Amino acid sequence: MAGETLNLSQHIGGISITDGDQYARVDMTTGALEVMEYEHHEIHAGSLYSVSWEADVAGNATFGLMFSPASTSTTAKKCHALFHSDTELEGQIELWEGITHGGAGTAVGCHNHRRINGGTATMSVYRGTTSPSTVGCTRLFVHHTGTSSGRTTQVGGDVRGENEWILSPSVNYYWMVKNSTDSDNFCTLWASWYEHTDKDELTLIV
């Protein structure tokens, strides 16, 4: 019957993939191995989070969110992040690493995508950061969006691949948009990330 599954070892000549308790399974109709993308697995594991904020940004003003991963003394988890944005009018999107500030600002709620018994994010996110400074910092990403006549433009990758950033612990990241017009510009910033502990630490030989 369509949609049925069976034990992989029963389906292809005794070959089995197992963790000692459960077996990998294949679709009975097509014979395809049933798999799940790793990021989707992190949702089921309760380790994927997202945050978003929107603002009507005044002419030539700046709006941003600060992301602060926990220190290695607090957790061994690393944040694997995707950043997204859109603007109503023309603007410049930037991602900065290592900013300093005069005050973190107001904490923004981080939502676990597993709404039943999900965990709590180790990374903190803030809006309204006081005097964020990028002097001596690294600009990881920049993109100019829209046109002077106005065009809703989305920036950021929905597919992880090369769009994912693995954030450094105890370093502040600033995801920001500069309004490039004299008019109010409705902007949205959002991000998603999963928090993962490396299974093995690799020693790289250069």
Residues 6, 48, single domain; the answer is no
Average per-residue pLDDT for the chain = 82
pLDDT at 205: 45
Residues 73, 155, single domain; the answer is yes
Least confident of 27-41, 72-86, 132-146: 27-41
Q: What is the DSSP string of 13-27?
A: TT---BSSS-B-EEE
pLDDT at 121: 95
Residues 183, 145, single domain; the answer is yes
113, part of any domain: yes
205, part of any domain: no
Residues 132, 58, single domain; the answer is yes
Least confident of 22-26, 54-58, 75-79, 112-116: 22-26
Residues 135, 164, single domain; the answer is yes
103, part of any domain: yes
- Amino acid at position 47, single letter: S
Residues 47, 141, single domain; the answer is yes
Cα gap 190→180, rounded to integer Å: 20
Residues 160, 186, single domain; the answer is yes
**What's the domain range around 10?**
1-35
Residues 106, 173, single domain; the answer is yes
Residues 70, 114, single domain; the answer is yes
Beta bridge partners of 87: 153, 187
42, part of any domain: yes
Tokens of 140: 């990881």
Residues 15, 44, single domain; the answer is no
Cα gap 153→164, rounded to integer Å: 20
Mean of the pLDDT values across residues 23-34? 70
Residues 55, 66, single domain; the answer is yes
Whether the CB-CB separation of 123 and 67 falls below 8 Å is answered with yes
204, part of any domain: no
102, part of any domain: yes
Most distant CA atoms of the chain, gap in Å: 69
> Closest by alpha carbon to 49, among 201, 196, 202, 205?
196
- Look at the chain and report how many structural domains it folds into: 2
pTM value is 0.79
202, part of any domain: no
pLDDT digit string (tens) for 43-93? 778 889 999 999 999 999 999 999 999 988 777 889 999 999 989 899 999
Residues 45, 116, single domain; the answer is yes
